[in-house]
């Protein structure tokens, strides 16, 4: 059960990081600030892992800055790297893995509850 709850929590946080940057503000009701707040988000960490030296330089020179042009520069690198597509792949793989782990839980545990929690956050847009 602990494994499933940790996986759901991680899934939710990665999703929140993605929505902070790429979510529709009219749907989420918030303007994302992870880039300017220099948060150690999934997008930032993933970008640094996959970046070319030039991309890494642009990210590090602009991350944590409050100027719109610097925020846009980071988002453009994210888009150039295909991070929205990578996130979609992560979301599907995580959902399938968590679903499998829920099915493997002891019959004594409330699987329905875990499935309902997962269903509430799967493909969440806000």
Q: Tens digit of pLDDT for each residue in 7-59?
A: 999 999 999 999 999 999 888 888 899 999 999 999 999 999 999 999 999 99
> What is the pTM for the complete model shown?
0.92
Distances (CA, A) of 3 to 95, 97, 98, 105, 114: 14, 11, 9, 10, 12
pLDDT for the residue numbered 81: 98
* Percent of the chain predicted with pLDDT > 70: 100
pLDDT for the residue numbered 11: 98
The CATH number of the domain covering residues in 2-121: 1.10.600.10
Structure tokens at 113: 């509850």
């Amino acid at each position: 059960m602990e494994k499933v709850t940790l996986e759901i929590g991680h899934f939710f946080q990665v999703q929140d990081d993605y929505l902070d940057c790429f979510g529709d503000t009219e749907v989420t009701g918030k303007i994302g600030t992870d880039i300017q707040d220099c948060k150690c988000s999934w997008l930032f960490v993933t970008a640094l892992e996959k970046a070319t030296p030039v991309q890494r330089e642009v990210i590090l020179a602009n991350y944590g800055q409050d100027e719109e042009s610097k925020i846009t520069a980071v988002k453009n690198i994210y888009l150039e790297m295909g991070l929205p597509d990578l996130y979609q792949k992560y979301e599907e793989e995580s959902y399938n893995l968590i679903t499998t782990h829920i099915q493997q839980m002891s019959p004594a545990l409330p699987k329905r509850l875990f499935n309902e929690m997962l269903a509430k956050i799967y493909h969440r847009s806000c």
